[in-house]
Amino acid sequence: MKDKVKLDAGNSPDFFSVKPKGRGVRRLNNVPLIGAIGIISFALIGITYTFMLRQQSNNIAREEKQLLFVDETPVPVRPKGDDYVQAKLPEILPLVSTNPTETQKLIEKDLEQKQIDKALDEENEVQKRLLTRIIERRLAKMEAALDSEPMVSFTINSRIKDQTQMQNEDPQKTMLENLLGRSGVASNASFNGDGGRDPNMQAQKIAFLSQSPEAEVYLKNTRQEAIQASFEIKAGTIIPGVMISGVNSDLPGQIIAQVRESVYDSATGQNVLIPMGARLIGTYDSQVSTGQKRVLIAWSRVIYPDGSSLSLGNMPGSDQSGYAGFNDKVNNHYLKIFGNALMLSVISGASQMSQKTHKIGNEDSKLATTKETLAEELGRQWGEVGIEMTRKNLGIQPTIIIRPGYNFNVMVTKDIILPAWQGHPMAALPY
**Most confident segment among 30-34, 257-261, 382-386:** 257-261
Q: Per residue in 212-261, pLDDT tens?
A: 555 566 667 677 777 777 889 999 999 999 999 999 998 889 999 999 99
Q: Higher-confidence residue: 97 or 336?
A: 336
Decide if 273 contacts 319 (C-beta within 8 A).
no
**Most confident segment among 34-43, 50-59, 151-160, 321-330:** 321-330
Residues in Cβ contact with 270 at an 8 Å cutoff, skipping those fewer than 6 apart? 230, 264
Helices (H), 284-369: 334-354
pLDDT band at 183; cut points 50, 70, 90:
very low
- State how far the Cα of 318 lies from the Cα of 312, in Å rounded to an integer: 15
Flag whether pLDDT at 386 surpasses 50.
yes
Lowest pLDDT segment from 63-77, 112-126, 336-350: 63-77
Count of helix runs (H) and strand runs (E) in the chain: 7, 15
Closest alpha carbon to 197 in 208, 209, 188, 207? 188
Average pLDDT over residues 18-41: 70
Decide if 334 contacts 326 (C-beta within 8 A).
no
Helix (H) or strand (E) holding 239: strand 238-243
User: What pLDDT was estimated at residue 426?
Assistant: 64
User: What pLDDT was estimated at residue 169?
Assistant: 53
User: What pLDDT was estimated at residue 188?
Assistant: 44
Flag whether pLDDT at 396 surpasses 50.
yes
pLDDT band at 355; cut points 50, 70, 90:
low
Q: Per residue in 284-304, pLDDT tens?
A: 988 888 788 999 999 999 999
Average pLDDT over residues 412-418: 91
Q: What is the pTM of this model?
A: 0.45
Report the topology of domain 237-329+401-423: Lipocalin (2.40.128)
User: What pLDDT was estimated at residue 192?
Assistant: 45
Flag whether pLDDT at 102 surpasses 60.
yes
The percent of residues above 70 in pLDDT, for the chain, comes to 58
Domain ranges of the chain: 106-168, 237-329+401-423, 334-355+375-395
Decide if 264 contacts 421 (C-beta within 8 A).
no
Q: Higher-confidence residue: 273 or 70?
A: 273
Average pLDDT over residues 142-150: 71
User: What pLDDT was estimated at residue 189?
Assistant: 43
User: What pLDDT was estimated at residue 34?
Assistant: 83
